[in-house]
Structure 1
Amino acid sequence: MYQVLYCLTAEHDWLLVALGGAVCLLASAAAISLFHRARAARGHSRVAWIALDAAVSGCGIWATHFIAMLAYGPGAGAAYNIPVTILSLVFAISVTFVGLSIAVSATRRRFVALGGAIVGTGVAAMHYTGMMALEMPARIGWTGGTVAASVLFGIVFGAIALSVAAQRDDIRHGLGAAGLLTLAIVAHHFTAMGAVSLTPDPTLAVGGLSIPPGALSFLTASAAVAIIAIALVAALLDRRAKGELGRQQVVLDTALENMSQGLCMFDADGKILLFNERYAAMLGRTNMQLTGRLLLDVIREQQAMGQWDGDPEEFFDRLVTDAREGRSTTTSVNRFNRSIRVVNEPMAGGGWVATFEDITEWLAAQEKISHMARHDALTNLPNRVLFHEQLDQGLRLARPGDQLAVLCLDLDHFKDINDSLGHPIGDALLKEVGRRLAACVGENDTVARLGGDEFAVVQLGRQEEAAASVLAGRLVEVISAPYDIADHQIVIGVSIGISLFPQDGDNPNELLKNADLALYRAKADGRGTYRFFETGMDARAQARRLLEMDLRAAVQRNEFAVYYQPIRDVARDVVVAFEALVRWKHPERGLISPVNFIPLAEETGLVVALGEQVLQVACAEAATWPDDIGVAVNLSPVQFKSPNLVASVVDALALSGLDARRLELEITESVLLQNSEATLTTLHELRALGVRISLDDFGTGYSSLSYLRSFPFDKIKIDRSFVQELSTREDSMAIVRAVTGLGRSLGIATTAEGVENDAQLELLRREGCTQVQGYLFSQPRPASEVTNMLERPRFRASA
């Protein structure tokens, strides 16, 4: 050790020693940086980086040696043999290349240390070969123990240096490894130089192929520094690029793994280049080796596990062909009960990128949207759109001799149910109607809800007209059966119109139009029945439409007149009131009876405006009569659905100045069939005004007695149908007797309508009827004839 210290302190130029150390440290730093780059590379790129690292390390070791030898100063006459000097450089690079190759490729720490030890051996091989290149007139001697120590220093510190470098690629470990590698080179060299002893021998001469130490040291140091600097700059630039690529790789990997889609990239031969976990999971390939494998081999493996159907070769060849020909393809496959859409996009230079999207929920949503667009949301029956499609399809598939029937159905008085019991009950009723309809038809027939309370049926097959009649009769029977819904027992009827193919039309629109016309006829004939289309129905429908147009215009132009029929008190033989009856003075058709236009006005809602006009005229004209004469005005059930009814009565009384006690409003029992609670509230509001309320057509409804109990009417009017049969039917006489007796018991006046002869009058007088009206006394007359009707002194004995 003393010999080594003496050599270092007494036999070396410290300035040159410092230069050698700096060159060594620079070379070591470059070597460690290249070592990290080589470990990150793969394949041929790794070999290239190891070779560059070996060249830089070897040159650094070589340059450090000769600069240190210059600092040692072997003396005058010394030179270096050029071939041996070059051989020492070759040894430094070759042995270092072997050590670095082992350390770079190793995954275990001990093999990394082995590679570092070999690099340390390369330092020794270079040093002692370089010493062999020294030519001078002296013999070189070596101290064996010191030589062994120098070799050991190089091996130990070299092993430690690469072990530290392999732990982590960061600044701290990099600087530590560079320092240890520098220590390995420097410790070996100066220890080895401490083992040298020179014995002068003038007989030894310098060979021809030699170079002076100073010149060689300068040249090698300069060349080595340049090579090392270039390598270090390259390493730093590559390290920066690697860091940027690493960051981009992290971003790319994060994006790939967080994609909702699966992604896989293939080369031109169909080999998998990269993929994300979503791809592997969607296709059931998570437990398979994928990278670098042919897709065909992967599919064959899945086929062997029973996870692939079809021909793998055909499928694979089609993909490769499409990619080579630059075709983009989109297909759908089913994997593990999931629907997956696959899009293959060719890449420039060959290969393709495939994306995989799970569209199971999307397909379900699309199917639901399509179903909702073609089915009724409430009943889940086909709607008008799908009904037209299926009807059109049935017509196209019909063969000669086939008959197709279209049935249009409309529930009778459904709106009354909706208004009285509420929409939830109405919706539940429609659902039950739809269920009953579907249960009645055949498996090839179609039931649809067209909207509101309108339904339709298409009956298919080679059938006679009787089959449609049987089905329609069955539907009327089934739909009319009672319903139990939310503690309500509901009875509702149905009207049906029927058209037949081919006699009534050969296209969906015509058949539906004609079935609709037949439906109107069924309603006009009393509802709760069915009718087939007849040729004349179209003309009648057109006439009805024309009448409706005229009626709308008549309401606007006020073409209506109010006629009055007297109501006489039986006991006093005087007129006590007049019933206001509307007449239509059509500019072309003349006077039109209410029977012909009131039902149409109620269907179209025009009766509300018409009723307000009649009420205002009747009150205004009654105000000119004697104070003891009243006026009776009929109210339609449709008017009772108007929220402005009470206001319109108040306005009519205010404008006319008529005493409210002289106004009598007549309602039918059908009014009370609506929303009974709201109706009774309205009746009480009218009664509070002082208006009298009369129950018209008493005895023709279903619950008259309950109505009398729920609201104290001022008058009961006996329907004309009972009066006309007084002398011919005992049951009519019994009903009249019961009604008059009920009126006396309750203190309610009774008025008999339709009295046309003395016999009917006498029977009514005998039974105690309070008031009478009819043609026996007068037909309805204009307001100008009211005075004449008041002046008639007594009952007419004859018409």
Structure 2
Amino acid sequence: MYQVLYCLSDEHDWRLVALGGAVCLLASAAAISLFQRARATTGPGRLAWIALDAAVSGCGIWATHFIAMLAYSPGGDGAYNIPVTILSLILAISVTFVGLSIAVSSSRPLWIVVGGAIVGMGVAAMHYTGMAALEMPARVNWIAGTVVASVLFGIIFAATALFIAARRDDLSHALTATTLLTVAIVAHHFTAMGAVLLTPDPTLAISGLSIPPASLSFLTASAAVAIIAIALVAALLDRRAKGELGRQQIVLDSALENMSQGLCMFDADGKIILFNERYAAMLRRTDILLTGRLLVDVLREEQAKGQWQGDADEFFARLVADAREGRTTTDVVNRFGRSIRVVNQPMQGGGWVATFEDITEWLEAQAKISHMARHDALTSLPNRVLFHEQLEQGLRRTKSGDQLAVLCLDLDHFKDINDSLGHPIGDALLKEVGRRLKATVGEHDTVARLGGDEFAVVQIGRSEETAARSLAGRLVEVVSAPYEIDDHQIVIGVSIGISLSPQDGNNPDELLKNADLALYRAKADGRGTYRFFETGMDARAQARRLLEMDLRAALQRDEFEVFYQPIRDVASGRVVAFEALLRWNHPQRGLIAPIHFIPLAEETGLIVQLGEFVLRSACTDAASWPDDVDVAVNLSPVQFKSPNLIASVTEALAASGLDARRLELEITESVLLQNSEATLTTLHELRAMGVRISLDDFGTGYSSLSYLRSFPFDKIKIDRSFVSELATREDSMAIIRAVTGLGRSLGIVTTAEGVENDAQLELLRREGCTQAQGYLFSKPRPASDVAMMLEGPRLRASA
């Protein structure tokens, strides 16, 4: 130790020693920073960082040595052998490269220490090779113990420096490791210099391949400082870039962990590079080591636990092949009762990124939407769309000789139920009807609700027409059975139209059209029954469609005219009113009676326009009659429900100037069937205007007496069916006697319709009937004949 201290104090220039120490510190800082960069890098980049670190470390050791040798003055001139000097630099770099490679490539502390020890040996190899390059007129001897101590200093401090640098990449560990590496180099050098013993020998000459110490020292120091400075700047810039990358990594990690999707990245070999927690939780792989493992190994492990079905190797091979060929694939897998959509997206340079999305709820919602789009929301039966599809499938499945039947069903008077009891009761009734239909048809038959109160059935696999007839009969019976809904007992019928394949059609549209035509015939024949399609039905339907087209055109061409039939006072015989009756002057078919077009107008809604026309015309014509002659206008149930009814009456009266008390509006019992507050409100509004209200066809409905109690009518019109049988049936006479008596009691005028002979008129007079109307007095005539009808006391017409 004394020898080392003596060497430092008496044989070295301390200014140059300080310079060498500064160069050594700079080189050590660069070496440690590059070492940490190399450990943080993977792949080919790591080798580049190790090589740069070895070059910087070797040059730093080499430069420190020769600057310190410049500070060494043992007495006597010397020079350095160039080949051996170069060899010392090569040794410093190569041995340091080996040590750094071992320390960088391993995470085990032992191998990091071994790598650091090899770096320390590289310091010793460089130093003693550099000393061998020294040529001077003296023999060099070494103190063995001091030499060993110098080598140990380099090994121990260098190993400790790399061990600390590898523990954590932060400033404190970097500074500590830099200091220790500097100590390793400096302690080794000056301890080794203390082991030198020089014996002067003038016979030793300096070879020609040598360079003076000063020149070599300044050149190598300058070059080394430049290399070390560049490396240090590169390391600092890299550290700054790594810091920015680290911040970006934090942002990326935060984004990955807050994704609603799972994400996993694989390299070209199928090894897991990174993944987020959502991926691990979604696939329940939180208890499996994932990073760095091949996906196939993870799948095999799950397969062993019974958590993966299928061939893991085949599945993995397909994923790798798709990624290598640049194919994006999408799969839906079932994991633990959940449906997960997996999208595998290839990456440039190999590998792929897989995203995992739990679509269980989405699939359930899609299934619900699909079901809603193809099923009736109220009854859950197939709707028109699905029915059409199943009918097509049934036609395709029907074998030669088999028969397919389409039954179209329509509930009879369902609208009356809806209006009288309300839509909730109507909906409940439709649900119950749907349930009964489904329970009645065969296992392979289809029941659908096409809309409103219209249902349909497809019967498949029956070879005889009698099977369809039998089913239709059962359906009529089942649907017609009483219903008990919310304490209401409801009885409703059903009409059914049937078409058969192949004779009535071989495509869904044709079969449905023909079944609908048969349904129309069933309803026309009295409802509550079924009818099969017949060829003539299509012709009748065509005629009906033509009539509808003519009816619409007639409104535009003003082909309608109002006729009037007188109503006479039974006691005095004078005309007290005229009933307005609509006639159609068809350009080809002549005068058409209302019975042939009014039902069609009601079905199509054209009755509202026709009713307004009659109301306006009647008010205008009546304004020119005597003040004691009124006009009666019939209101269709459809027209009565129009929101513009009150406005139409008001406008007709205002435009014509007719006194409201001279207008009489006739309604049938079907208008009152619903018995709603809106109906009564409308009636009271009309009464408040001064308009009189008459109940037409009295006695043909179900609840006439209750109607009289719910609203104070001005007149009751006795239906012609009772009048026509006055002389032949005693019960008709009894009914008329009861109605006229009721009218007298309530102060209501009674009018008998359909009076055709004197005998009927005499009986009506005897029973106290107030007014009479019929062919006995006059058939309906144009407005131009009103004056003539007023003048004649009793104009007769053939019955």
**Following the alignment from structure 2 to structure 1, what is the Cα–Cα distance between the partners of residues 151 and 292?**
45
Corresponding residue for 1:766? Answer: 766
State whether residues 261 and 355 of structure 2, in contact with CA within 8 Å, keep that contact through their aligned partners in structure 1. Answer: no
**Following the alignment from structure 1 to structure 2, what is the Cα–Cα distance between the partners of residues 607 and 220?**
115
Q: How far does residue 171 in structure 1 lie from its aligned partner after superposition?
A: 4.2
Corresponding residue for 2:639? Answer: 639
Amino acid at match of 2:470: V
Matched, 1:265 2:266: yes
Corresponding residue for 1:398? Answer: 398
Corresponding residue for 1:600? Answer: 600
State whether residues 693 and 713 of structure 1, in contact with CA within 8 Å, keep that contact through their aligned partners in structure 2. Answer: yes
Amino acid at match of 2:266: M
Corresponding residue for 1:450? Answer: 450
State whether residues 445 and 460 of structure 1, in contact with CA within 8 Å, keep that contact through their aligned partners in structure 2. Answer: yes
User: Deviation digits for residues 38-85 of structure 1, max 9, x if unmatched?
Assistant: 322457865665565445334423432332232131111445677886
Corresponding residue for 2:621? Answer: 621
Q: Taking structure 1 as reference, are residues 177 and 775 closer, same or farther at Cα in structure 2, changes over 3 Å only?
A: same
User: Deviation digits for residues 397-419 of structure 1, max 9, x if unmatched?
Assistant: 22233222211222334444445
**Following the alignment from structure 1 to structure 2, what is the Cα–Cα distance between the partners of residues 133 and 173?**
36
**3-state SS of paired residue (1:695):** strand
State whether residues 577 and 630 of structure 1, in contact with CA within 8 Å, keep that contact through their aligned partners in structure 2. Answer: yes
User: Deviation digits for residues 694-749 of structure 1, max 9, x if unmatched?
Assistant: 11111111111111111111111111111222233232222222212211221212
Q: How far does residue 637 in structure 1 lie from its aligned partner after superposition?
A: 0.9
Matched, 1:500 2:471: no
**3-state SS of paired residue (2:380):** coil
Superposed CA RMSD in Å reads 3.9
User: Deviation digits for residues 547-597 of structure 1, max 9, x if unmatched?
Assistant: 222222222333233322222222333332222222222222222211112
Q: How far does residue 768 in structure 1 lie from its aligned partner after superposition?
A: 2.1
Amino acid at match of 1:664: E
Corresponding residue for 1:679? Answer: 679
**Following the alignment from structure 1 to structure 2, what is the Cα–Cα distance between the partners of residues 730 and 784?**
40
Q: How far does residue 542 in structure 1 lie from its aligned partner after superposition?
A: 1.6
Matched, 1:732 2:767: no
State whether residues 271 and 292 of structure 1, in contact with CA within 8 Å, keep that contact through their aligned partners in structure 2. Answer: no
**Following the alignment from structure 2 to structure 1, what is the Cα–Cα distance between the partners of residues 489 and 114?**
97
Matched, 1:515 2:515: yes
Q: Taking structure 1 as reference, are residues 370 and 522 closer, same or farther at Cα in structure 2, changes over 3 Å only?
A: same
Q: Taking structure 1 as reference, are residues 534 and 673 closer, same or farther at Cα in structure 2, changes over 3 Å only?
A: same
**3-state SS of paired residue (2:67):** helix
Q: Taking structure 1 as reference, are residues 144 and 560 closer, same or farther at Cα in structure 2, changes over 3 Å only?
A: closer
Matched, 1:368 2:368: yes
Amino acid at match of 1:28: S
**Following the alignment from structure 1 to structure 2, what is the Cα–Cα distance between the partners of residues 15 and 684?**
123
Q: How far does residue 649 in structure 1 lie from its aligned partner after superposition?
A: 1.8
**3-state SS of paired residue (1:628):** coil
Sequence identity (%): 80
Q: Taking structure 1 as reference, are residues 775 and 185 closer, same or farther at Cα in structure 2, changes over 3 Å only?
A: same
**3-state SS of paired residue (2:633):** strand
**Following the alignment from structure 1 to structure 2, what is the Cα–Cα distance between the partners of residues 271 and 212?**
60
Q: How far does residue 164 in structure 1 lie from its aligned partner after superposition?
A: 4.5
**Following the alignment from structure 2 to structure 1, what is the Cα–Cα distance between the partners of residues 145 and 514?**
123
Q: Taking structure 1 as reference, are residues 758 and 199 closer, same or farther at Cα in structure 2, changes over 3 Å only?
A: closer
State whether residues 262 and 282 of structure 2, in contact with CA within 8 Å, keep that contact through their aligned partners in structure 1. Answer: no
Q: Taking structure 1 as reference, are residues 177 and 562 closer, same or farther at Cα in structure 2, changes over 3 Å only?
A: same
Corresponding residue for 1:186? Answer: 186
Q: Which moved more, 1:555-564 or 1:629-638?
A: 555-564
Amino acid at match of 2:629: I
**Following the alignment from structure 1 to structure 2, what is the Cα–Cα distance between the partners of residues 460 and 726?**
55
Corresponding residue for 2:28? Answer: 28
Q: Which moved more, 1:590-599 or 1:160-169?
A: 160-169
Amino acid at match of 2:704: S
**Following the alignment from structure 1 to structure 2, what is the Cα–Cα distance between the partners of residues 227 and 369?**
71
Any gaps of 5 or more consecutive residues in structure 2? Answer: none
Matched, 1:274 2:273: yes
Q: Which moved more, 1:736-745 or 1:253-262?
A: 253-262
**Following the alignment from structure 2 to structure 1, what is the Cα–Cα distance between the partners of residues 605 and 170?**
89
**Following the alignment from structure 2 to structure 1, what is the Cα–Cα distance between the partners of residues 46 and 646?**
99
Corresponding residue for 2:552? Answer: 552
**Following the alignment from structure 1 to structure 2, what is the Cα–Cα distance between the partners of residues 395 and 73?**
114
Corresponding residue for 2:468? Answer: 468
Corresponding residue for 2:661? Answer: 661
State whether residues 602 and 638 of structure 1, in contact with CA within 8 Å, keep that contact through their aligned partners in structure 2. Answer: yes
Q: Which moved more, 1:285-294 or 1:789-798?
A: 789-798
State whether residues 406 and 458 of structure 2, in contact with CA within 8 Å, keep that contact through their aligned partners in structure 1. Answer: yes
**Following the alignment from structure 1 to structure 2, what is the Cα–Cα distance between the partners of residues 115 and 644?**
101
Corresponding residue for 1:165? Answer: 165
**Following the alignment from structure 1 to structure 2, what is the Cα–Cα distance between the partners of residues 117 and 319?**
46
Corresponding residue for 1:751? Answer: 751
**3-state SS of paired residue (2:597):** helix
User: Deviation digits for residues 609-662 of structure 1, max 9, x if unmatched?
Assistant: 222222222222223333222222211111101122222222222233322222
**3-state SS of paired residue (2:444):** coil
**Following the alignment from structure 1 to structure 2, what is the Cα–Cα distance between the partners of residues 52 and 661?**
115
State whether residues 758 and 798 of structure 1, in contact with CA within 8 Å, keep that contact through their aligned partners in structure 2. Answer: no
**Following the alignment from structure 1 to structure 2, what is the Cα–Cα distance between the partners of residues 202 and 120?**
33
Q: Which moved more, 1:683-692 or 1:355-364?
A: 355-364
**3-state SS of paired residue (1:599):** helix
**Following the alignment from structure 1 to structure 2, what is the Cα–Cα distance between the partners of residues 165 and 349?**
33
Q: Taking structure 1 as reference, are residues 59 and 481 closer, same or farther at Cα in structure 2, changes over 3 Å only?
A: same
Matched, 1:710 2:710: yes
Q: Taking structure 1 as reference, are residues 441 and 17 closer, same or farther at Cα in structure 2, changes over 3 Å only?
A: same
Q: Taking structure 1 as reference, are residues 107 and 397 closer, same or farther at Cα in structure 2, changes over 3 Å only?
A: closer
**Following the alignment from structure 1 to structure 2, what is the Cα–Cα distance between the partners of residues 611 and 35?**
101
User: Deviation digits for residues 270-296 of structure 1, max 9, x if unmatched?
Assistant: 542535245555555544445555554
Matched, 1:380 2:372: no
Q: Which moved more, 1:440-449 or 1:618-627?
A: 618-627
TM-score, reference length from structure 2: 0.87
Q: How far does residue 672 in structure 1 lie from its aligned partner after superposition?
A: 0.5
Q: Taking structure 1 as reference, are residues 349 and 585 closer, same or farther at Cα in structure 2, changes over 3 Å only?
A: closer
Q: Taking structure 1 as reference, are residues 499 and 6 closer, same or farther at Cα in structure 2, changes over 3 Å only?
A: same
State whether residues 757 and 798 of structure 1, in contact with CA within 8 Å, keep that contact through their aligned partners in structure 2. Answer: no
State whether residues 403 and 500 of structure 1, in contact with CA within 8 Å, keep that contact through their aligned partners in structure 2. Answer: yes
Q: Which moved more, 1:668-677 or 1:336-345?
A: 336-345
**Following the alignment from structure 1 to structure 2, what is the Cα–Cα distance between the partners of residues 567 and 69?**
146
**3-state SS of paired residue (1:653):** helix
**Following the alignment from structure 1 to structure 2, what is the Cα–Cα distance between the partners of residues 728 and 448?**
50
**3-state SS of paired residue (1:274):** strand
Q: How far does residue 491 in structure 1 lie from its aligned partner after superposition?
A: 4.2
Q: How far does residue 334 in structure 1 lie from its aligned partner after superposition?
A: 3.3
Amino acid at match of 1:574: R
Q: How far does residue 669 in structure 1 lie from its aligned partner after superposition?
A: 0.5
Any gaps of 5 or more consecutive residues in structure 1? Answer: none
Q: How does 1:223-238 map to 2 (within 5 A)?
A: 224-225=224-225, 227-229=227-229, 231-232=231-232, 235-236=235-236
**Following the alignment from structure 1 to structure 2, what is the Cα–Cα distance between the partners of residues 129 and 587?**
130
State whether residues 67 and 217 of structure 1, in contact with CA within 8 Å, keep that contact through their aligned partners in structure 2. Answer: yes
**Following the alignment from structure 1 to structure 2, what is the Cα–Cα distance between the partners of residues 199 and 390?**
112
Q: Report how many residues are paired.
A: 796
State whether residues 775 and 797 of structure 2, in contact with CA within 8 Å, keep that contact through their aligned partners in structure 1. Answer: no
Q: Taking structure 1 as reference, are residues 771 and 141 closer, same or farther at Cα in structure 2, changes over 3 Å only?
A: same
Amino acid at match of 1:265: F
Q: How far does residue 357 in structure 1 lie from its aligned partner after superposition?
A: 4.8
Amino acid at match of 1:709: R
Q: Taking structure 1 as reference, are residues 223 and 409 closer, same or farther at Cα in structure 2, changes over 3 Å only?
A: same
Q: Taking structure 1 as reference, are residues 137 and 327 closer, same or farther at Cα in structure 2, changes over 3 Å only?
A: closer
Corresponding residue for 1:784? Answer: 784
**Following the alignment from structure 2 to structure 1, what is the Cα–Cα distance between the partners of residues 784 and 706?**
41
**Following the alignment from structure 2 to structure 1, what is the Cα–Cα distance between the partners of residues 104 and 123?**
18
Matched, 1:775 2:794: no
Q: Which moved more, 1:252-261 or 1:765-774?
A: 252-261
Amino acid at match of 1:402: D
Q: How does 1:105-116 map to 2 (within 5 A)?
A: 107=107
Q: Taking structure 1 as reference, are residues 503 and 142 closer, same or farther at Cα in structure 2, changes over 3 Å only?
A: closer
Q: Taking structure 1 as reference, are residues 298 and 164 closer, same or farther at Cα in structure 2, changes over 3 Å only?
A: closer
**Following the alignment from structure 2 to structure 1, what is the Cα–Cα distance between the partners of residues 507 and 798?**
61
**3-state SS of paired residue (1:728):** coil
